[in-house]
Structure 1
């Protein structure tokens, strides 16, 4: 098992073989982790929230769910989730434009998950697409009311809650510790924090599942 501390506001890309897994641990309980996956052998194709919602018929994914790629093929499985199971599949990755909408006035672009996605891909030698795909926003709480209106609320996860994503194909998983500090996405304090990642090879993941 490889343990990685993902510093607040940053991202990483991790190659995970089929049968292996990535555990995303919400160390402090309130940090959102934008998560993507692309095929190692064909990075033009990857995790699709649109297709995953369509197959399950609901907005939230939960333990036991299979997550699909843009060709409706199984890509990941959620094998464990110790959190209350509130993860967003609707909201796009934050971008420099989003922070300007929220009133950011800095001369440099605000840290953002869209840029983090590109940085992570570049770090492992993969091309950066013109459009950032919608992520699985682990631990992000976006309540939707009966009329279809939604709001951004603090996560309901607790310190140490985690999700395990098992690879059903050879994938590159990209995770961004969301830099949002202008809305309560990362808790009422609006302070991004670190998360912990643990990478399991196929044998280690099989042992975990059978223990």
Structure 2
């Protein structure tokens, strides 16, 4: 099988980028420097109101996170992407909401702070699509285990430099990746870094 790279997009630290992907294409998201969380969103190109839903995906797979070969589904319960490969330690999250201005204010930050919620809206505006509600993201490379006492733990990402996840688009969609700017809670090693998006065809 020959895989051809069509597009490579650098997502700078603390920023977000959006790309349009056709059904059948592959999307690879990697952490060049390691330990960087990527908030990942997807919207149907034909109707961006329909989006990747973490809650519906958990119900569909009966897992907290899909394993390779399993799909992510939309809020209309249609497969939109399938996880095909994961070279990271496999620690990802679908429980934690995207960081936003209110989150940083509650953490004691004063003044403006970059956030994944704002990154999503700005990236989609570049594609001339208006997003009014921020869905629950898929947080690639984010290690948030649930303990036996049902407590959520916040851990630094264990992803090594170059670790990546690959997904196959099942529908034409808009994909957004935000290099999470969180530097008040240790999920990025307290040092946000870049991510990379590759669109591949086969």
Is residue 111 of structure 2 the alignment partner of residue 111 of structure 1?
no
**Cα deviation digits, residues 39-95 of structure 1 (max 9, x gap):** 111000010000000111121222111110001111000111001111000000000
Structure 1 equivalent of residue 199 of structure 2: 199
**Cα deviation digits, residues 94-137 of structure 1 (max 9, x gap):** 0000001111012xx210000011001111000122x2100000
Structure 2 equivalent of residue 169 of structure 1: 171
Structure 2 unaligned spans of 5+: none
Kindly indicate which of the two structures has a greater share of residues assigned to helix: 1
Structure 2 equivalent of residue 156 of structure 1: 158
Listed as ranges, the matches of 1:26-175 within 5 Å are 26-106=31-111, 109-129=112-132, 131-175=133-177
Moved >3 Å (runs of 4+): none
Equivalent-residue separation in structure 1 for 2:149 and 2:62 (angstroms): 18
TM-score by structure 2 length?
0.95
Equivalent-residue separation in structure 2 for 1:69 and 1:159 (angstroms): 30
Deviation for aligned residue 1:22: 1.1
How large is the Cα RMSD of the aligned pairs? 0.9
Equivalent-residue separation in structure 2 for 1:178 and 1:25 (angstroms): 13
Equivalent-residue separation in structure 2 for 1:164 and 1:30 (angstroms): 17
TM-score by structure 1 length?
0.91
Equivalent-residue separation in structure 1 for 2:66 and 2:198 (angstroms): 21
SS of residue paired to 1:99? helix
Structure 2 equivalent of residue 209 of structure 1: none
Work out which of the residue numbers 160, 181, 184 in structure 2 matches 1:179. Answer: 181
Deviation for aligned residue 1:138: 0.3
Equivalent-residue separation in structure 1 for 2:18 and 2:162 (angstroms): 22
Equivalent pair of 1:61/1:87 in contact (CA under 8 Å): no
SS of residue paired to 2:102? helix
